Amino acid sequence: MKLGFYPGCSLTGSSREYTESLLAIAKAAGIELVEITDWNCCGATAAHNLNHELSVSLPARNLALAELDGMEELVVPCAACYNRLVMTQHELGDKPELKALIAEKLQMPLKNEIKIINVIQFLEKHIVPRLDELIKAPLAYDVACYYGCLLVRPQKVTNAARFEDPMTMDVIMQKLGANAIDWPFKTECCGAGFSVSKTKIVGELSGKIVRSAVDRGAKVLVVACPMCHSNLDMRRPAIESYLNRKVDIPVIYITQAIALAMGLSPKQAGTHRHFVPVNLTVNRLN
Amino acid sequence: MSKRVRQQADVNVIECYQCGKCTAGCPVADRMDLRPSVIMRMLQTGDAVSEDEILRSLSIWLCLTCETCYSRCPMELDIPKVMDYLRQRSLAEGKVHRDAHDIVTFHKSFLNTVQNNGRLHEMGLVIDYKLHSGNLFQDVMLAPEMFSKGKLHILPERIKDRKGLSRLFKGQTKKPKS
C-alpha cells in the first residue's frame, strides 16, 4: 500500500532518525510512504507569528502538490507541521475568498479535500492492528509517554479524545511490552520554538517534564514530535543546569520504540543519533 | 479594539468572562508582563493607551502557541490566534519589546532561509540568526556533534519551483520598522 508523506524540514536534518525509524516500520508493515514532489517548508512558528498570509500559503502549496500527486491520505509525522497543514485546511475551508486568493498565487488547483493524519493516527490505523505479528522483541521498560502540545491540541484539529490525559501512545507502548507510567506532565509544553532564542525557558519547561518522568520511575521518555525530542534530548545541558543535577533518561520516538520491538537494530532505528545515549536491551522472542 | 480583533482575527473577545483559566494553565504566565486573561480584558475595555501597552508587551512574544488556553477556555476563544494578530501588529508598528528581539530575529532568520531555499536549512538559519542577533558564540559546541551524528547539512536542500515560491513571498517580506 502507498500513502502520501510530508516529512517537513526537521525530519530531513536534525530529526532524521524519526524519518528513518518511521520508514523502517512502514516497510516492515508493507507500506510505502511517498514524499510529496518538491514539497516546501510549512512556515512553522515563524510564519504564523509574523505573517498570516505566508502561514496559509506555504502549507497550501504542499496540499495542492499532494493533490497533483494523486494522494488521498497524507502522513505528517512532525506535530508542528501537522498542526500548520490542518489549520490551513480548516481556514481555507472556512474562507472561500482566501482560498481563491491562495489558489491564484499558487497557480495550481486546490480542492482542499486530502485527509491529513499525524503519526499517532497513522500508527493506530496502519501499524497497531498488525503489531501482534510484527513484534519480535518486547521492550520491557517503565516508560513515560510525552505527547506535548500539538498532537492533542487544539481538539478541533487533532480530534484527541482525552486532550488532558491522552492514552493513545500509552496503549501502543503497552502492546510493545512496556509499562506506561501514569504521570502529570504528558501534555505540558516543552518550550517549543524557543530552543535557540530563549534556551533558558526551554531548560526550565523541559526540565520540569524530565524531572516528573524520572521521579515517577520512568526509564525512557517516548515522544512523537521532533521539536519535543530536540528540546528534551539536545537541550539536556540546559535541563540539567535548571534541575541542578545530572539526568540520563533517554528520549526516543515512538517509531523507534516500535522499530526496536520489531527486532530491528539500534542503527536501523537511528538511536545512535541522539545526544543522550540510548542503551536499551530487548528480549528476543523465540 | 475588540471590533478590530473580531474582524481581523475572527475572535470575539467580548465573550470572555474573565474566569482566568488561560492564565492559570499558561506555561509562561509567570514571566509575562501582561497575563493572557489581562490582555483579554484590556482588549474588551481598551482605549488607545492600553492597546499600545499590549503591542509593546513582552507577553505577546512569550506565548508559545501551546494551545493550552484555547483548549481549556469555556467560551472556546482562540487566544493563540489573538496573539498571532497582536504580534503581527506589534511588528508592523515597530513596537516589539526589547527582550523579544532575539525571538523576532530568530523568526525572521527562519523565514529568510525558507524564502531562499523553499525549505529550512538549519545551519543557514543558525548562522543568519547569529549574525543578526550578535549571539555569535551561542551553541558553537553543538555543531560538530550534530554534524558527526549526521544531523547537520552543510548545504541547503532547495526546491525546484523557485518561481512559484517567490510568488508566495512577493509583497510579504517588506522590511518592517524595527
Among residues B95, B126, B159, which one ends one of the domains?
A: B95
Local confidence pLDDT in tens for the 286 residues of chain A: 999 999 999 888 788 999 999 999 999 999 999 999 999 999 998 899 999 999 999 999 999 999 999 999 999 999 999 999 999 999 999 999 999 999 999 999 999 999 999 999 999 999 999 999 999 999 999 999 999 999 999 998 888 889 999 999 999 999 999 999 999 999 999 999 898 889 999 999 999 999 999 999 999 999 999 999 999 999 999 999 999 999 999 999 999 999 999 999 999 999 999 999 999 988 788 6
Last residue of a domain, one of B56, B78, B95: B95
> Which positions in chain A touch B163 (Cβ < 8 Å)?
none
Give A 158-187 residues with CB within 8 A of chain B. Answer: 163, 187
Residue B178 has pLDDT above 60, yes or no: no
- Tell whether B78 and B53 lie within a shared domain: yes
**pLDDT of amino acid B140:** 74
A14, A18, A49: best to mutate for the B interface, most B CBs within 10 A: A49
Q: How confident is the model at residue B174 (pLDDT cuts 50, 70, 90)?
A: low
Contact A78, A229 (CB under 8 A): no
In this complex, do B118 and A155 lie within 8 Å of one another by their Cβ atoms?
Answer: no
Which structural domain range is residue B140 located in?
99-169
Is there a domain that residue B176 lies in?
no
Distances (CA, A) of A104 to A154, B145, B168: 29, 44, 10
Please indicate whether, in this complex, the C-beta atoms of B64 and A189 are within 8 angstroms of each other: yes
Asked if A46 and B110 count as a contact pair (C-beta separation under 8 A), the reply is: yes
- Please state which CATH class domain A2-119 belongs to: mainly alpha
Chain A, chain B: beta-carbon pairs less than 8 Å apart: 150
What single letter denotes the amino acid at residue A84? R
Q: Which fold has domain A136-273?
A: Rossmann fold (3.40.50)
Instruction: Determine contact: B78 vs chain A, CB below 8 A.
Output: yes
- Are B53 and B108 contained in the same domain? no
Q: Identify whether residues B91 and B34 lie together within a single domain.
A: yes
All three cell numbers of B98: 526589547
Say what the pTM is: 0.93
Residue spans of the domains in chain A: they are: 2-119, 136-273
A104 at interface of B, judged by CB pairs closer than 8 A: no
B175 confidence band (pLDDT: 50, 70, 90)? low
Instruction: Give Cα A223 distance to the centre of its chain.
Output: 7
One domain, residues B10 and B91: yes
Residue B85 and residue B157 in one domain: no
**Which chain A residues contact residue B65 at CB under 8 A?**
45, 48-49, 149, 192
Cβ B85 vs Cβ B8: under 8 Å: yes
B158 touches chain A (CB under 8 A): no
Strands A179-180 and A220-223: unpaired
Tell me if B178 is assigned to some domain: no
Which DSSP category does A220 fall into?
E
With an 8 Å Cβ cutoff, are A192 and B65 in contact?
A: yes
Q: Kindly state whether residue B130 falls inside one of the protein's structural domains.
A: yes
Statement to judge: residues B76 and B106 lie in one domain: no
Residues B146-158 pLDDT 10s = 888 888 887 888 9
The pair phi, psi for residue A221, each rounded to 5°, is -100, 135
Query: Is residue B67 domain-shared with residue B119, that is, in the same domain?
Result: no
Domains: count for chain B: 2
- The minimal CB distance from B27 to the residues A13, A39, A189 is found for A189
Torsion angle defined by CA atoms of residues B88, A159, A167 and B66, in that order, rounded to the nearest 10 degrees: 10
Same domain for B120 and B52: no
We report the CATH number of the domain holding residue B35 as 1.10.1060.10
Residues B88 and B103 in one domain: no
Digit-coded pLDDT (tens) for A222-258:
999 999 999 999 999 999 999 999 999 999 999 999 9
Residues B80 and B116 in one domain: no
- Same domain, residue pair B30 and B115: no
Instruction: Tell me whether residues B129 and A149 touch, CB distance under 8 A.
Output: no
Residue B174 lies in a domain: no
Question: Using the beta-carbon criterion (under 8 Å), do A154 and B71 form an inter-chain contact?
Answer: yes
Same domain, B111 and B87: no
B42 located within any domain: yes
Judge whether B128 lies within some domain.
yes
